Amino acid sequence: MSERVKICIYGPGAVGGFVGVLLAKAGAEVSVVARGAALQAIRQNGLRLRRQDGEIAVSVSATDDPATLGPQDYVVLAVKAPALPAIVPKLAPLLGPETAVVTAMNGMLWWFFDGGGPRGSGPLRSVDPGGAIARALPRSRVIGCVVHSTSSQPEPGVIRHGVGDELIIGEATGGVSARVRNLGRWLDRGGFHSKLSADIQQDAWVKLWGNMNFNPISLLTGATADRIIDDPDVYALCISTMREFAAIGQAIGYSLPMTPEARIAMARKLGAFKTSMLQDVEAGRPVELDALLAAVHEIGARVGVPTPFIGAMLGLARLRAAQSGLYEPLAAMAGAAT
């Protein structure tokens, strides 16, 4: 393992802050890009992580200007997908020739369905209209990261960890490289359980299977996961959307490891948790409908898999979020560019 590593966390929120604290504790040279109250809190009190066994506070370089940090070994993108188009142009000062961009983000991202081949047919307009993100951050620079952990941000600069500490990482182009192995060692040193994946798209697809229905249903209902599962009609809707998702996966070459019923049973064990989308709604933040649901709907249309339940859920969630001022599709923001 490299004895010195520079890692910038772009977005030290619930996920990014969790990763940043443990990497700093492991001895990595960690910096964060934040703004507003979060930036002020981190500068004054450090980045803090609350767990059942106590609180960890680490001192990190914190700025709202990436140009002050210089090139990094790894840049961890831990932002919400709707923020990405505005953030990408600001990353340039952090990117040296060998810098890897690690996407610790929810949903289907720009690199997921790019590159052609049997699994893809070009960029998804719902998550990267016009291809601007892919041009700025080509797949060769990206390490995908699938987070299996729950955490929240009760106040600026403070992260509360719930359950889980597994991070799955792998090259967006496929395979496990030296830089992926090095990052995995640092994560393990920090206390995570890292898993190195030769097919990170497969792992991201499995994670998305759960997120693509619980999140929008929580937006529509304001309910925690246990109440969603316990309502028999809402449960039936989840099963229907998950079966449509599985059919899309079969059409593009991604498998799922269990039945929809078994996957929901896993979620039930987590109890009355709030999805990330419900947390965003309650905080008045833009929601990630494009990456979590619109992209799935777009792929279904491409490969000719009917998705009436996914389409209905998307339409209802999109309308509800737009009425609350929490959603504008990326394609609309980019105009007619394709």
Is the CB of residue 133 less than 8 Å from the CB of residue 84? yes
**CA dist., res. 314 & res. 303, Å (int):** 18
CA-only gyration radius of the chain, Å: 19
Residue 36: other Cβ atoms inside 10 A: 9
Count of CA atoms in the C-beta half-sphere (13 A) of 147: 23
Outline where 141-293 has alpha helix (H). 178-190, 200-221, 225-230, 232-252, 260-268, 276-283, 289
Beta bridge partners of 91: none
Catalytic residue, candidates 80, 195, 207, 269: 207
For this structure, is 207 an active site residue?
Answer: yes
Active site residues: 207
